[in-house]
Structure 1
């Protein structure tokens, strides 16, 4: 492969890989003053629960009535 194409191709692949790794975190404040950090946006389940993946990568659920607010954390 031509060396003049190899460097830009490697840079493009690196940027594409890093772009896919960025995720937005959210803070979930509960009525009992706890704050839970989620990895990605929480989703409301049909059962009335809020489903999310916590900062440790574990899938969690919390009753939506126990949630005071959900806010996006700045990057």
Structure 2
């Protein structure tokens, strides 16, 4: 089976729900860590929160791209 056939294969309903839940979780965590970074006075803590925010944004983008490729 080639990769194009795999990319267009529909996602099962239970898996779709899990992916949508994870997308929401990653979006929320991105926003929270960004807010925490804005509130930090300590530069190391601010950097750590910014890094965590970026990781969750990347996770969100990856999940969204995966979801979009199956619709």
- Alignment TM-score, normalising by the size of structure 2: 0.32
Structure ranking higher on relative contact order (CA contacts 8 Å, 6+ apart): 2
Higher relative strand content: 1
Which has the larger share of helix?
2
> TM-score w.r.t. structure 1 length?
0.31
